[in-house]
Structure 1
Amino acid sequence: MLRTAVQVDGETASYLTVREDGPLVLLLHGTYWSRVWLPVLGQLATAGLRPVAVDFPGLGHSGGELTPKTATVPALAAWVVRFLSALDISSPVVVAGHDIGGAVAQHLLAHDRLEMSRLVLVNSVAYDSWPAPHVALFQHPDTTPDDLLAARRQAVTRDLAEAATEQRIADYLDPWTDPRVRRSWLAMVRAADSRYTLDLVPALRVSTVPKLLIWGEDDPFEKVEYAEKFATEIPHTALRRIPRAAHIPTENAPDQIARALVDFVTA
């Protein structure tokens, strides 16, 4: 596993990868960080793909700091375009998004921001499913970065479900020990607005790009019913349900998800 970086807007954009060749699969996170994609990277690379799991600015291991203005879905989508330019990527790419990263991926497709060959959403926000109540609490102006660690520990323990171990929980929490990352997370939360996905629906309905939804069925917030609605209303969409998996299904069923991704991308 390789963590490397490029410069975007004068700041370090950190990403996880395994190989530097092959068709690019861009993996976007949401209110967590690139760690959510770690369990599937090796199998994607073994299949000849080039997985790139990037950390948004100010989150994970990337430099910079998000503000409520730069943390909106359209602003993050524009940043992704600049990140791909820094990687010197010009060929069509597969984009997969988890959580709010799924909203960014939908925006990229709906607004034709880059040449996308396939779209994958993994327990993504959609329609009016977000922000989840435990996240929306942090939109209140009285909340501070210091309130975050205990709440994030509770959230990641729930979202990992059966995959939760003390080591894994600590691994996920590690970036939030940095006050800059906590401030960036609060900016992302305060910029969260379901209008960003609701406004995309008309464009998604006419998109001919193949789409795959991979969904942990036990997610209490990004419920599988949203995925079912998306698969029914948006053409060229398939749904793969993952039983006994929660909001981070890559940790609960990495082999199933990696195989679903590989089959979809290489079909």
Structure 2
Amino acid sequence: MSETTETRVLRTAVQVDGEAASYLTVEQDGPVVLLLHGTYWSRVWLPVLGGLAEAGLRPVALDLPGLGRSGGELTLETATVPALADWVARFASALKVSGPIAVAGHDIGGAVAQHLLAHDRLEVSRLALANSVLYDSWPVPGVARFRDPEVVAATTADEFLAARRQAVTTALAGAATKQRIADYLDPWTAPRVRRSWMAMAGAADSRYTLDLVPALQRSTTPKLLIWGEDDSFQKVEYAERFALEIPHTTLIRIPEAGHIPTENASSQVARALIDFFTE
């Protein structure tokens, strides 16, 4: 079953590990671009899906298990970056995607994307990272606190939603509106999704990105960094370092954009992705 979310963009699902894996897409022929979210959900990619499709690409913005609209529930074991990368590989298989595939990742989804490339979990043709976790830039304090089981056990639903509302408002920066904030918060009204998010936070560990650096330095795969310069969570200095140290990397800075530049500058981000993925 599918639901229309905006013109031409559909939400649909495939079965992965016996659960519904939900994703946003434009159902057309064309090279697949796999779009990964982190501590939010597929909503972060919605503003650029139409543009990617109009350029002849087939965007697929998935919801990781237990998050967004996907079924299942993450645990501390299944929420690690390597485990999520393995799940994404199974998702691609369920979608019958084969051969070289372009991948983009935002936030912790960027760590998953880096892992897919560095460990050959998918044949990644091009890698784009938008305000992604890099090196030891994560977990940020608002996420790291949930690595403490006592904090997890003591957090009420109201406290969780209030904390996420504040984080989303900051992340959206100048694009924050009442409706957008409500859109981002909506999945977390479900207890299962809140538990999955806290599992992802509990499993957050910068060693997963630090360990990838040697393999990324050897990689000849083209890489693109798209960065909202005003991001207080993933600072642009990390992107500058990555662009200097990791070969075949280009950095595009988005002025006056926060942690979710797809919302602040959707046309500019879409153009950068299109140019990169169709080059």
Aligned to 2:277: 265
Q: TM-score, normalised by structure 2?
A: 0.95
Deviation at 1:142, TM superposition (A): 2.1
Task: Let me know the Cα RMSD of the aligned residues.
Answer: 0.7
Aligned to 1:244: 256
Aligned to 1:218: 230
Structure 1 Cα separation of the partners of residues 146 and 162 of structure 2: 13
Deviation at 1:145, TM superposition (A): 5.5
The one-character-per-residue Cα deviations of 1:148-199 (angstroms, maximum 9, x if unpaired) are: 1000000000100110011110011000000000000000000000000000
Gapped regions of structure 2 (runs ≥ 5): 1-8
2:84 aligned residue (76, 80, 91): 76
The one-character-per-residue Cα deviations of 1:34-66 (angstroms, maximum 9, x if unpaired) are: 000000000000000000000000000000000
Letter in 2 for 1:68: L
Give SS of 2:22's match. Answer: strand
Aligned to 1:255: 267
Deviation at 1:91, TM superposition (A): 2.0
Q: TM-score, normalised by structure 1?
A: 0.99
The one-character-per-residue Cα deviations of 1:53-97 (angstroms, maximum 9, x if unpaired) are: 000000000000000000000000000000000001112110000
Residues 97, 145 of structure 1: CA spacing in aligned structure 2 closer, same or farther, 3 A cutoff? farther
Which segment drifts farther, 141-150 or 1-10?
A: 141-150
Structure 2 Cα separation of the partners of residues 108 and 122 of structure 1: 16
Deviation at 1:138, TM superposition (A): 1.9
The one-character-per-residue Cα deviations of 1:95-131 (angstroms, maximum 9, x if unpaired) are: 0000000000000000011111100000000000000
Residues 53, 145 of structure 1: CA spacing in aligned structure 2 closer, same or farther, 3 A cutoff? farther
Q: Is the 8 A contact 1:145 1:182 kept in 2?
A: no
- Structure 1: 4+ residue segments shifted above 3 A: none
Structure 1 Cα separation of the partners of residues 92 and 28 of structure 2: 14
Kindly indicate whether residue 217 of structure 2 is the aligned counterpart of residue 205 of structure 1.
yes
Deviation at 1:139, TM superposition (A): 1.8
Gapped regions of structure 1 (runs ≥ 5): none
1:10 aligned residue (10, 18, 37): 18
Kindly indicate whether residue 114 of structure 2 is the aligned counterpart of residue 133 of structure 1.
no
Give SS of 1:142's match. Answer: helix
Kindly indicate whether residue 177 of structure 2 is the aligned counterpart of residue 178 of structure 1.
no
Structure 2 Cα separation of the partners of residues 259 and 133 of structure 1: 33
Structure 1 Cα separation of the partners of residues 199 and 164 of structure 2: 15
Figure out how many residues of one structure are paired with residues of the other and give that number.
267
Letter in 2 for 1:39: P
Letter in 1 for 2:165: R
